[in-house]
Structure 1
Amino acid sequence: MQHYLGPGRPLTILDTWDKVRAAAEGGLLAENPWCELKEAIGPSTKAVNTELARDIASLSVHGGILIFGVKDKTYEVVGCETDGLRDRISQVAATRISPPLVPVVLDDVHGPDGRNVLVVSVPPSQLAPHMVDERYYGRSADGKRVLSDPEVRTLILARDQRTHGFIERLKGLALNDPIDQLVEEAPTGHGHAFFLAEPCSPVPSERIDQHKLIEILLNLDYGKRGMTSLLGDCTYAGNDPDGLSLRTGHRKVRAEYEHREAQISVHDNLTITAASGGATRRIENRSREMRLVALTGTMAQFAAQFIEALREISLAQGYQGQWQVGVHLNHLRGAAGYEDFSSGSAPEFPQDSCTHHVVIQPTAWDAPQTQIEAVAVELLAKYLRGLGRSEWSFNRLLQQV
């Protein structure tokens, strides 16, 4: 993966001994707000582990790397003993930092005489600043330091403003609904879902290639399950002034096929948006009345596809950090689940729309399938609760219309 080492410095790959040495000799690894060097780490005592927690917490404000095996004064690459260090870092980040962090510990960079370099990527945290021993930590040009009360308040205020702005941008996706461009006689009154994912910190990234994005979408595991491919059918170029866009077709379809239509965009700043026409659909009931039905199975599958695509794009673009991810669904009022609708006992969704968002770090997941399904259900929690399906599992939802 490529590492961001601060403004004016190139993205740097540190996966071999020679690359680490070249970066050190070229001045790229000088300690600054984005880089912390350790020649070695001491025994696993409370004092040493607390110092390690402070290093990790301080880097989480803007993101950065912690490197073991490089001298912090001379930048000499000397290597160190790394056995057990990976687990130790993860445990310290999870138990000694509040809220806990999930740094990305990369594979050992092997050197001579059995001595290695270990690079730890600390992504920028949406929940920063983080506390160790009742103090919040950040960084300056000289390394880690305790943040003052005004600095902490400023960071928390900025975090709240980012969240508010994210929700406004998420809801704003419905104002320029791309699904309406794909359906005849739009708007039809069917419910659509709009997904938004933003990296929690701006990270330089090359634009994703169209062929690479199509490859990712065609190989989504959750595109091979359920009723339709959805995002897997997005192979036609769309028009998005902010980046690369793909959609399910270039010709408009009839309203009865609206639930199959989808669109996804990856913007130049790595923001990802997607839209689905399958939140609700009008279906004729036994009395030949047209009623609004919630397509919970389609939504569960689409949400899982979006999260899986987000993870694959993160890996492809080298972004290891956190994402703010949300969904906004509209035209829900009066919709009922298909089974309730068919049986004649139909609790109807009580409002026109619902919005929900979470913070995730998909490249750090040890069990991606489990995490994808859990996040998909969490994103749709309000939608499902309004339909009386708050206790339904992902697999049960996937079996529905």
Structure 2
Amino acid sequence: MQHYLGPGRPLTFLDTWDKVRAAAEGGLLEENQWCELKEAIGPSTKAVNTELARDIAALSVHGGVLIFGVKDKTYEVVGCETGGMRDRISQVAATRISPPLVPVVLDDVEGPDGRNVLIVSVPPSPLAPHMVDERYYGRSADGKRVLSDPEVRTLILARDQRTHGFVERLQGLALNDPIDQLIEGAPTGHGHAFFLAEPCSPVPSEPLSQEGLTSILVNLDNGRRSWSTLLRGCLHTANDPDGLSLRTSYDKVRPEYEHREAQIGLHDDLTISAVSGGATRIIERAPGSVQHVALTGTMALFGAQFLETLRKISLAQGYQGQWRVGVHLNHLRGASAIEDAFSGRAPQFPRDFSTHHLVIQPTAWEDPQTQIEAHVLELLAKYLRGLGRSGWSYNQLLQQA
């Protein structure tokens, strides 16, 4: 993993003792807005843990690294006892900072005599500024400091603007719907789902190749639904001026297969978008009689595949930070969950569209599948509530069409 240590400084690998020493001797580890050094973590007292929380909260405004085992005055790499530090840092970040943070605690950099260097990467937080003991913290060239009220207001306003911009970009995906280009006689009135994921900080990495993305897609979990492929079936190249894009079909398909169609795009800035034609489907039950059904199972599986793809791309690109992820579904008005639609007793979705978003950190998930299922339910919460499916588990949804 490469680290950003400030303007004018190269992205730097700090994964061996020699590399840490070379960076220190070369002046790259001088403390600034993006780098904090500590010789050791200190005893687990309230005062020491509060100070640790302040360091992490301060770094989260713009991102940075907290390095243990390097003296902050002489930059001498001395190492320290790192046993138990990983759990302690994670607990402090989760319990003493508001809102909680999930810093990335990297593997020990092994040194002589059992004394190691520990590097904690703190990605820029989309929820910054963060509070410790009722004060907001940030950093300057001289280290951490309490933020003034005007600085806090400025950061909160910028946060709100970023959120608003994300929602606009998410909803804007429907204006250039790639599924419509694949369907004969489109638009058909079937509902589509648009997923978008944007990294919350810049990602200094090489673009993923088409072969790399294809390998990720074909190995996605299919939720025991052997008849459905969705993102797993995106094997055909789609021309995309913003980056790499793959889709399920090369030629146009008939409307009755629209719910099977999908497209995914990986842009040069690591933004990931995906579209499914299976949010809702209009089914003719008899001549002159149609049912507008919501394919909740398809949406659950597609959402899970999207989050699994996102996690695997994060790992492949070495990005440990947070993502803002959202879903926008259209043509929902009047749709019913498929199980109830045929009985005529189901609640019908009252609006034409549903939009929801959240912030996640996929590389920090200890149990990826459990986290994926939970976040799918969170992303689809409004869609499911409008269909009378609140409280359903991921596996219950997966059993539906």
Q: Settle same-fold status: TM greater than 0.5.
A: yes
1:122 equivalent in structure 2: 122
2:18 equivalent in structure 1: 18
Distance across 1 between alignment mates of 2:199 and 2:7: 18
Cα displacement (A) at 1:204: 2.2
Q: Secondary structure at the match of 2:342?
A: helix
| Residue deviations 1:327-362 (CA, integer Å, cap 9, x gap) | 000011111111111222232111111101111111
Cα displacement (A) at 1:2: 2.1
Letter in 2 for 1:14: L
Question: Do residues 394 (structure 1) and 394 (structure 2) align?
Answer: yes
Q: Percent identity?
A: 81
Question: Do residues 351 (structure 1) and 351 (structure 2) align?
Answer: yes
1:134 equivalent in structure 2: 134
Distance across 1 between alignment mates of 2:74 and 2:266: 41
Q: Secondary structure at the match of 2:321?
A: coil
Distance across 2 between alignment mates of 1:344 and 1:72: 70
2:35 equivalent in structure 1: 35
Question: Do residues 243 (structure 1) and 243 (structure 2) align?
Answer: yes
1:38/1:68 contact within 8 Å kept: yes
Query: Bigger shift: 73-82 or 189-198?
Result: 73-82
TM-score under structure 2 length normalisation: 0.97
2:338 equivalent in structure 1: 338
Question: Do residues 80 (structure 1) and 80 (structure 2) align?
Answer: yes
Change (3 A) 1:226 1:150: farther
Cα displacement (A) at 1:284: 2.3
Letter in 1 for 2:328: H
Letter in 2 for 1:95: T
Distance across 2 between alignment mates of 1:223 and 1:320: 26
2:223/2:398 contact within 8 Å kept: no
1:226/1:301 contact within 8 Å kept: no
Cα displacement (A) at 1:8: 3.3
* Unaligned segments of structure 1, at least 5 residues: none
Change (3 A) 1:84 1:330: same
Cα displacement (A) at 1:287: 7.1
1:259/1:279 contact within 8 Å kept: yes
1:165 equivalent in structure 2: 165
Cα displacement (A) at 1:201: 2.0
Distance across 1 between alignment mates of 2:262 and 2:58: 41
Distance across 1 between alignment mates of 2:144 and 2:182: 52
1:223/1:232 contact within 8 Å kept: no
Cα displacement (A) at 1:224: 5.8
Distance across 1 between alignment mates of 2:80 and 2:375: 38
For residues 1-400 of structure 1, what are the structure 2 equivalents within 5 Å?
A: 1-222=1-222, 225=225, 227-285=227-285, 289-400=289-400
Distance across 1 between alignment mates of 2:8 and 2:207: 19
Letter in 2 for 1:150: P
Letter in 1 for 2:318: G
| Residue deviations 1:257-278 (CA, integer Å, cap 9, x gap) | 1111111111111111110000
Letter in 2 for 1:365: W
1:282/1:290 contact within 8 Å kept: yes
Query: Bigger shift: 286-295 or 378-387?
Result: 286-295
TM-score under structure 1 length normalisation: 0.97
1:37/1:72 contact within 8 Å kept: yes
Letter in 1 for 2:352: D
| Residue deviations 1:234-281 (CA, integer Å, cap 9, x gap) | 111112211111111211111111111111111111111110000011
RMSD between aligned alpha carbons?
1.4
Distance across 2 between alignment mates of 1:29 and 1:229: 48
Cα displacement (A) at 1:231: 0.6
* Unaligned segments of structure 2, at least 5 residues: none
| Residue deviations 1:174-198 (CA, integer Å, cap 9, x gap) | 0000111111111111100001111
Cα displacement (A) at 1:223: 6.4
Change (3 A) 1:262 1:155: same
Distance across 1 between alignment mates of 2:95 and 2:75: 30
Cα displacement (A) at 1:159: 0.4
Distance across 1 between alignment mates of 2:240 and 2:224: 27
Distance across 2 between alignment mates of 1:315 and 1:11: 18
Cα displacement (A) at 1:205: 2.5
Cα displacement (A) at 1:11: 2.4
Distance across 2 between alignment mates of 1:36 and 1:115: 19
1:205/1:269 contact within 8 Å kept: no
Letter in 2 for 1:304: A
1:324/1:359 contact within 8 Å kept: yes
How many residue pairs were aligned?
Answer: 401
Distance across 1 between alignment mates of 2:52 and 2:69: 14
Query: Bigger shift: 354-363 or 284-293?
Result: 284-293
Q: Secondary structure at the match of 1:212?
A: helix
Cα displacement (A) at 1:9: 2.8
2:222/2:228 contact within 8 Å kept: no
| Residue deviations 1:15-51 (CA, integer Å, cap 9, x gap) | 2112212222222222121111111121111111111
Distance across 2 between alignment mates of 1:149 and 1:120: 28
| Residue deviations 1:97-128 (CA, integer Å, cap 9, x gap) | 11111111111111111100101111111110
